[in-house]
Structure 1
Amino acid sequence: MDQIACLLEQPGKWQTKQIAVILLGIFSTAVNTLAIAFIGFQPKFACTDGENDYNYTGGRNATTEFNDHCTVLNATSNTSSACGGGFRYQAYKLETIVAEWDLVCEKAYLSEVSQVLYTVGMAIGSLFVSPISDRLGRKKSYLGLRFLYVFCTVGLALSPNVYVFMALRFLTGAMGTCPLVRFVYLMELSPIHHRPFLTTMTGILWAVILCLESGIAQLMRGMNWRYFQAVISITSLSVILDVIFIKESLLWLYANDKLKEASKLLKKAMATNGIMEQEMTATDDGRDSSESTGDQARGYRMVPSADTPPAEAKDNQYVNINSPSESRGCDAGGNRMVPLANNANSKDSPALVAKTGTKRLSIIHLLKNRSTRKIVFIICFTWFVNSLVYYGIFLMSYAMAGDRILNFFLGSLVEIPSYLALYVGLRWLDRKKLLVWLHGLCAVSLLLAGVFNFTLTGVTKVIVMQVVTFVGKFGISATFTLIYVYTTEVFPTNFRTSGLGIGSISARLGSFLSPFSSVLVRKLPWGPGIIFGGLCLVLTFILLFAPETRNRALPHFLEDIEAWESDEKRASSVREEGNASTTA
């Protein structure tokens, strides 16, 4: 993949247009994923009896005592009875689904279930979307999900009751697995040296979108929640641009033996980027026919770089794109080497390599292999913890002290510096070290939040709690983006999207539990900090056994991953010998 990206003069017009359109699709995913924080928040309420005004709509400035009790006290008999007259809310009746459908007391669980169903939908969607993407291609699966996503998000605003709403939330979650395909395609579209920048841009864009969403929520405060849902659904219409600009992944085409389509698309990409293609012959470079034939048999041809005049290209030597010294597919003169699509007979020909790459991998293959079995377990636990902590902090924002929308905004804003720090880390540090350090920072911060709940009081407690919680949010936001990169880099080509799918399923287990963090923080204020911090601490030690992926080409086969382990053992042995000789 990195050789192909180098050939295409990354970044060029062909890639830039697709990357821009793909990033634009993040808007619809981000605003809908956490929309429940604005349309499903629980306002303070009061129970009424049958003699009160049933049509009372409440309001933030109402003088009624909102005590969140599920019974009403009869002053005459001094006994409690059920709320025969319904509930009054310290919010506009239609501002939240909780107030509109009275999702309090015995129905309180339905509000949390709607978010749980969203995550269940994402888990089930991941089971099907990932193998479909690996089998049918990135483009078809991505566009299909995006179109269905539009109908689901619009349907939410038209829900007549809570049960239809929950069903549509489930379907929205299932169709919302398109980020898995999106991120894999972004990584396959970019060479190693551009992944840190793309990863950072993806994270920053996500954070900016959430900040904008909180701004929209503030502007529409006190309005019908359906209007808010309709407004954020408009972002899904960017699917029209997807249809126009997005092409199939070149790496997927080559890995699945679709060489004719890949060659055709490659030529279009080269033309778009202004790269001139020129095949070398024996007489061009002065070598004998046998030497030239050898290069042709190995399936290589010369492609001059954009700044190499055609007359000079013939003087450059052929370069084996599989050579470790040419890890980015370029020779010393900047010439790109591409496989010949029509040479299918050679031992090392691209056709044969692509055919080998079409072997369908499943989770069974990875669990049988000792090297990948460890990776699968580490990836699953990492995704679980990250999802639980990340969404848990967000969804309990309205139960924390202070304004719910302001808390959400600050929680989103703190992600921007975390992604900038992640960019620096991706450029200069190993992936594993970053994961360990960031999870360690999150663990310490959240554990301190739990401790401060016991030791501090008053305004000091509120300020300190928010500070340490946001520091934890800083760490978990960076790691949640980093694990997307790490997962795509650690699994082979024909299991890459499925690998993200396995991670996503594990994440859904975490996000399945995250909505209840808002309930826990009301009952046990110290609970989320201790639980989230403890899990991050355990994960910090587990990640020490993960392989490093930095400065390594994306693996195509299981054997590539096994080679990593052999290289690490060899490097470790060399270090031990060096230390022994130094001591001696």
Structure 2
Amino acid sequence: MTEFGDFMNILGDFGPYQKLLIFFISLPQFLIPFQMSGQEFMVLEVPHHCDTSWIRAVGPNLTEEEQLNLTLPRGADGAYEQCRRYSPVDWDLDSIRSYGLNATEECRSGWVYPAGQPPSLLTEFDLVCERKALEDIALSIYMVGLLIGAVIFGTLSDRFGRRLTLLLCVFTQGLSGVGAALAPHLYVYMAFRCLVGAAVSGILITSLSLATEWVGASSRPKAVLISHCFSAVGQMALAGASYGLRNWRLLEIAGNAPLFALFFYIWVLPESARWLVTKGRIEEAKKVLQKAASFNKRTIPPELLEQLKAEKQTNSGGILDLFRNKHLRKVTLIMSLTWFADGLVYYGLSFNVTSFGLDIYLTQLAFGAVELPARLSCIFLLEWFGRKKTQAVFLLLSGLLCLTVAGIPEDQPVTTTILATIGKFTATASLSSSYVYTAELFPTVIRQTGTGLCSMSARVAGIIAPLIRLLGEFHHAIPMALFGSPPVLVGVLCFLLPETRGNELADNTGAAIPQPRSKNLEELAKKDLTEDGADLKKDIYPSLETKL
């Protein structure tokens, strides 16, 4: 009986077919930063004050300065209050000028913004003063969508396949994103953003499984993190797009409408052959493998292909299987905490791009610029030092940097931004490591379910992160201290996990621990097959000859 890894070695660990697949699944990830961080550029603070047009009824010829002077109280710095006004009275204009107004109230008639201001979420939906918290609530609603998507699409992918789930997520994001751009009301916008978040979550975890299951063990970090590099480039593109498109609706469309161009996925996106085998769909798996081999200019020997029929059927897995097996239970609990810590520090820094004191567009560009080397470096670090050490060290460093930022005075914006940028580097590297590590720790039958459950932890952190920002009103150091503490604690727990570098993927829950690849298969992966695929160097690979 042949193992599925035999076919991957004949196809090549990372041949042209796999490279083209990685390119396809990377395209949607270029736009994901527009969803993750785009709202930060739609709610930029602008001068505003209460609408006091009531006084025009008694003083229609007042200049704007006279109107404001009579109807708005001033703060300690002498500037007009932005969130309060003098209560309207039924006096004539002379009485108002003579006696003045004393009683104040909140802005019951809305707010006034500078003329010619580009439309933004803040100005269209009045996200100022007592309504300012709705900005963070909207972010949390998006993160709730990510949480829902991790639950729904992780399970759907394990049950109905990676291909169908990814197609559904791509078009759901496109439709929902355009719907959010056209939303006439804030709560309609929030509802569409929740759907966008669910679709984004599905794209991330489904792409992870496709990338992992179509390549060999030595190429998994490369396959997963190349797609993440598209996201890093998208972070930098967001800085430029948000600077050029000050209209929030246009920015929302720019981050979602291009997904409709991926309609061709219906014809070119393959299903995971490994998943098809675990579901007993052997004939479909054969066709997909033969197509991949043909594209890679390789030939799978018919005798070896027939062995796929004899492969032992694996049982379908469910979420309860993650906790029945002792090893899987430990992996699930520790990796869930790891994703939570990753999400808290990553989203905490991303959502605070406007709080570090420097130009937000340059800060966003810097955040995007450091993500690219962070993800690229993981390709090599995961192979050199292994998954466990890389994951633990980056998680510890990201937490320590956040704690350091918490101790920097507010009047040091340059120092704060530099440390935050380094923190973004380590947080990104830690999150990227988690994707690769998690995919290798869970067996095929529940890989999406396990990854989805861990992803849920990161989404819970994402929901909490915008709300933690509100604590900055009490002291500026509180949010960063809360963002940095969990990664330090969880980083230590990561050393309890097994190492998976170079191991073959487990397919079922009975063999939950990934096994090292046999030396014969590793040697075979490095050899070129003859054109007809029949000459497999029988004198060197006796174990494979026995299978044939």
Q: When the two structures are superposed, what TM-score results if normalisation uses the length of structure 1?
A: 0.78
Please state if 1:483 is matched with 2:434: yes
Cα distance in 1 between the residues matched to 2:161 and 2:376 = 32
1:401 to partner: Cα distance: 0.6
Aligned pair partner of 2:281 in 239, 258, 274: 258
Aligned pair partner of 2:347 in 352, 370, 391: 391
Cα distance in 2 between the residues matched to 1:563 and 1:424 = 21
Cα gap change, 1:81 to 1:38, in 2 (>3 Å): same
Return 5+ residue gaps in structure 1 as ranges. Answer: 59-63, 280-299, 302-337, 343-348, 566-584
Aligned pair partner of 1:497 in 448, 454, 457: 448
1:466 to partner: Cα distance: 1.3
Structure 2 residue aligned with 1:442: 398
> Contact between 1:396 and 1:517, CA under 8 Å: does it hold in 2?
no
> Contact between 1:66 and 1:90, CA under 8 Å: does it hold in 2?
no
> Contact between 1:395 and 1:515, CA under 8 Å: does it hold in 2?
yes
Cα distance in 1 between the residues matched to 2:225 and 2:198 = 26
Structure 2 residue aligned with 1:294: none
Map 1:270-419; keep pairs closer than 5 Å: 270-279=293-302, 301=304, 338=305, 340-342=307-309, 349-350=310-311, 353=312, 355=313, 357=314, 359-419=315-375
Structure 2 residue aligned with 1:322: none
> Contact between 1:214 and 1:405, CA under 8 Å: does it hold in 2?
yes
Structure 1 residue aligned with 2:416: 465
Cα gap change, 1:429 to 1:339, in 2 (>3 Å): farther
1:50 to partner: Cα distance: 3.4
Please state if 1:233 is matched with 2:256: yes
1:340 to partner: Cα distance: 2.2
Please state if 1:203 is matched with 2:234: no
Aligned pair partner of 2:384 in 428, 436, 439: 428
> Contact between 2:127 and 2:135, CA under 8 Å: does it hold in 1?
yes
What secondary structure is seen at the aligned counterpart in 1 of 2:454? Answer: helix
Aligned pair partner of 1:532 in 457, 472, 483: 483
Structure 2 residue aligned with 1:148: 172
Output one character per residue of 1:149-194: Cα deviation in whole Å (capped at 9) or x when no partner: 2111111111111111111111111222221111110111111111
What secondary structure is seen at the aligned counterpart in 2 of 1:524? Answer: coil
What secondary structure is seen at the aligned counterpart in 2 of 1:414? Answer: helix
> Contact between 1:66 and 1:89, CA under 8 Å: does it hold in 2?
no
Please state if 1:16 is matched with 2:15: no
Count of residues paired in the alignment: 484
1:529 to partner: Cα distance: 2.0
Letter in 2 for 1:191: G
What secondary structure is seen at the aligned counterpart in 2 of 1:81? Answer: strand
Q: Which has the bigger relative contact order, CA under 8 A and spacing at least 6?
A: 2
Cα distance in 2 between the residues matched to 1:481 and 1:68 = 45
Cα distance in 2 between the residues matched to 1:14 and 1:388 = 36
Structure 2 residue aligned with 1:324: none
Structure 2 residue aligned with 1:108: 132
1:339 to partner: Cα distance: 5.4
Letter in 2 for 1:143: L
What secondary structure is seen at the aligned counterpart in 1 of 2:105? Answer: strand
Cα gap change, 1:419 to 1:108, in 2 (>3 Å): same
What secondary structure is seen at the aligned counterpart in 2 of 1:111? Answer: helix
Q: Report sequence identity in percent.
A: 26
Question: What is the RMSD of the two structures over their aligned residues, measured on CA atoms?
Answer: 2.6
Please state if 1:99 is matched with 2:123: yes
Letter in 2 for 1:50: S
Structure 2 residue aligned with 1:157: 181
Cα distance in 1 between the residues matched to 2:355 and 2:326 = 45
Output one character per residue of 1:216-239: Cα deviation in whole Å (capped at 9) or x when no partner: 111123xx2111212222321242
Cα distance in 1 between the residues matched to 2:507 and 2:43 = 44
Output one character per residue of 1:321-371: Cα deviation in whole Å (capped at 9) or x when no partner: xxxxxxxxxxxxxxxxx55244xxxxxx31xx1x1x1x1222222212222
Cα distance in 2 between the residues matched to 1:159 and 1:481 = 33
Letter in 1 for 2:43: G
Cα distance in 1 between the residues matched to 2:298 and 2:290 = 9
1:475 to partner: Cα distance: 0.7
Please state if 1:72 is matched with 2:85: yes
Cα distance in 2 between the residues matched to 1:507 and 1:6 = 34
1:33 to partner: Cα distance: 2.6
Return 5+ residue gaps in structure 2 as ranges. Answer: 58-63, 65-71, 73-77, 88-98, 517-548
Cα distance in 2 between the residues matched to 1:68 and 1:181 = 50
Structure 2 residue aligned with 1:179: 204
1:526 to partner: Cα distance: 0.8
Cα distance in 2 between the residues matched to 1:364 and 1:518 = 35
Letter in 2 for 1:115: L
What secondary structure is seen at the aligned counterpart in 2 of 1:72? Answer: strand
What secondary structure is seen at the aligned counterpart in 1 of 2:112? Answer: strand
> Contact between 1:45 and 1:67, CA under 8 Å: does it hold in 2?
no
Cα distance in 2 between the residues matched to 1:52 and 1:158 = 35
Aligned pair partner of 1:213 in 217, 228, 238: 238
Cα distance in 2 between the residues matched to 1:408 and 1:100 = 24
1:84 to partner: Cα distance: 4.2
What secondary structure is seen at the aligned counterpart in 1 of 2:320? Answer: helix
Cα gap change, 1:510 to 1:44, in 2 (>3 Å): farther
Cα distance in 2 between the residues matched to 1:476 and 1:563 = 26
Letter in 2 for 1:140: L
Q: When the two structures are superposed, what TM-score results if normalisation uses the length of structure 2?
A: 0.82
1:200 to partner: Cα distance: 3.1
Structure 2 residue aligned with 1:39: 42
Letter in 2 for 1:519: L
1:393 to partner: Cα distance: 0.8
> Contact between 1:51 and 1:85, CA under 8 Å: does it hold in 2?
no
Structure 2 residue aligned with 1:191: 216
Please state if 1:87 is matched with 2:74: no
Aligned pair partner of 2:191 in 148, 167, 171: 167
What secondary structure is seen at the aligned counterpart in 1 of 2:471? Answer: helix
What secondary structure is seen at the aligned counterpart in 1 of 2:53? Answer: coil
Cα distance in 2 between the residues matched to 1:540 and 1:91 = 50
1:373 to partner: Cα distance: 1.1
Q: Structure 1 stretches (4+) deviating beyond 6 angstroms? A: 64-68
Cα distance in 2 between the residues matched to 1:166 and 1:232 = 16
Cα distance in 1 between the residues matched to 2:357 and 2:468 = 14
1:120 to partner: Cα distance: 1.1
What secondary structure is seen at the aligned counterpart in 1 of 2:85? Answer: strand
1:487 to partner: Cα distance: 0.7
Cα gap change, 1:53 to 1:424, in 2 (>3 Å): farther
Cα gap change, 1:389 to 1:339, in 2 (>3 Å): farther
Deviates more, 1:131-140 or 1:14-23: 14-23
Cα distance in 2 between the residues matched to 1:114 and 1:517 = 14
> Contact between 1:116 and 1:511, CA under 8 Å: does it hold in 2?
yes
Letter in 2 for 1:153: G
